[in-house]
């Protein structure tokens, strides 16, 4: 279980789970600048540099920092490359999910725990598409104000819904105009690992109640990292941060719930009115040329999440 979480905790973009959105945006920003980029997120760097969430996330944008880490600890550098590659692959996978959903005629989208996700701004949505973003009010306000103040406008009818997913978010979603009779494409990306097992089940049950046949959902499962290995890597990254003069950030692993009773997402969906399939993120990374063989958990299948997609029957 998480040691930094409570049933009623909250956060903004600079604290707790909110800082993980900055981490993910930083990885997207780095990928965007690569010559062979899998994704293009022109707003990620802006959202990172304006967040003031800590030196470490901004340092991820600096190639000189990556070179310093490589010279100090090659395995730790491989872990950073893996993390960046994983985020690029994950983003690419779910971008494709939305492209396929809208190609099938779906025009209602819900991004659960959207963080600094910029899909409502950067994707080419068909006319008539409405994108609902659910997250903590302060997180959504930061993203909205930062992009608006810099002249960025959404490419769909974007409707932020500021509410904690542990509260009555279905009611808040309906109040924002959500139509429970319309086919919907749902996304749970970078979310499930921050929920205990029972909250994960409840979330999918609520989604099912709001999803008519033909609706779709995509989710990233919570990977299982060995505590000993995670602690070893945490100590190594702390040492590196000290050596190159970076401010130590929150231990992201301590924000996650490691619950042995957590349901397998594809199995749960298949037994609750969906037709679901899952793909190992390691396989997807290899297929897209982003696999980093030097990472210490490369041979541990449980250390990698699955990308699950499903259609409502």
- pLDDT single digits (tens) 11-66: 455 555 557 788 889 889 989 998 999 999 999 999 988 877 555 656 666 667 76
For β-strands 306-312 and 184-188, DSSP reports them as unpaired
CATH 3.40.50.150 fits 17-312, yes or no: yes
d(CA 257, CA 52) in angstroms, rounded, equals 26
Strand order in the sheet with 184-188: 157-162, 130-135, 108-112, 184-188, 216-220, 306-312, 274-280
pLDDT at 179: 98
pTM, two decimal places: 0.87
Q: Mean pLDDT in the chain?
A: 85
For residues 90 and 307, the answer to whether their CB atoms sit within 8 Å is yes
Question: pLDDT for 105-160, tens place per residue?
Answer: 999 999 999 999 999 999 999 999 999 999 999 999 999 999 999 999 999 999 99
pLDDT exceeds 60 at position 225: no
Tokens 């893996």 sit on residue: 82
d(CA 90, CA 288) in angstroms, rounded, equals 11
pLDDT at 252: 55
Higher pLDDT, residue 209 or 250: 209
Name the percent of the chain in helix, strand, coil, to the closest 5. Answer: 45, 15, 40
Q: Beta strands of the chain (E only): which ranges?
A: 108-112, 130-135, 157-162, 184-188, 216-220, 274-280, 306-312
pLDDT at 295: 73
Lowest mean pLDDT among 124-128, 179-183, 304-308: 304-308
- CB atoms under 10 Å from CB of 257, counted, come to 17
pLDDT at 81: 80
| Residue 174: partners with Cβ closer than 8 Å, 6 or more residues away | 180
For residues 219 and 189, the answer to whether their CB atoms sit within 8 Å is yes
Tokens 């910029």 sit on residue: 118
d(CA 160, CA 136) in angstroms, rounded, equals 10
Q: What is the mean pLDDT of residues 62-75?
A: 70
């Amino acid at each position: 279980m998480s040691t930094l979480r409570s049933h009623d905790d909250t956060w903004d973009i600079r604290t707790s789970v909110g800082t993980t959105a900055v981490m993910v945006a930083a990885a997207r920003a780095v990928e965007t600048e690569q010559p062979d980029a899998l994704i293009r997120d022109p707003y990620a760097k802006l959202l990172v540099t304006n967040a003031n969430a800590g030196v470490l996330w901004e340092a991820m944008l600096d190639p000189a920092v990556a070179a310093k880490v490589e010279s100090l600890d090659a395995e730790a550098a491989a872990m950073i490359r893996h993390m960046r590659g994983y985020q690029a692959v994950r983003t690419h996978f779910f971008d494709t999910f939305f492209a396929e959903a809208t190609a099938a005629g779906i025009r209602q989208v819900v991004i659960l725990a959207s963080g600094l996700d910029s899909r409502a701004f950067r994707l080419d949505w068909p006319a008539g598409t409405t994108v609902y973003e659910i997250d903590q009010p302060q997180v959504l306000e930061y993203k909205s104000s930062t992009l608006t103040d810099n002249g960025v406008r959404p490419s769909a009818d974007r409707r932020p819904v500021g509410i904690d997913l542990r509260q009555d978010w279905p009611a808040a979603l309906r109040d924002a105009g959500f139509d429970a009779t319309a086919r919907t494409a749902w996304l749970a990306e970078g979310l499930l690992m921050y929920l205990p097992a029972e909250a994960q089940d409840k979330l999918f049950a609520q989604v099912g109640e709001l999803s008519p046949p033909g609706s779709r959902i995509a989710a990233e499962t919570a990977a299982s990292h060995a505590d000993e290995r995670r602690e070893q890597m945490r100590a190594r990254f702390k040492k590196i941060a000290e050596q190159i003069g970076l401010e130590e950030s929150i231990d992201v692993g301590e924000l996650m719930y490691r619950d042995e009773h957590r349901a397998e997402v594809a199995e749960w969906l298949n037994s609750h009115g969906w037709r679901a399939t899952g793909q190992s993120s390691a396989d997807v990374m290899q297929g897209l040329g982003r696999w980093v063989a030097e990472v210490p958990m490369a041979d541990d299948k449980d250390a990698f999440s699955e990308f699950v997609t499903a259609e409502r029957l």
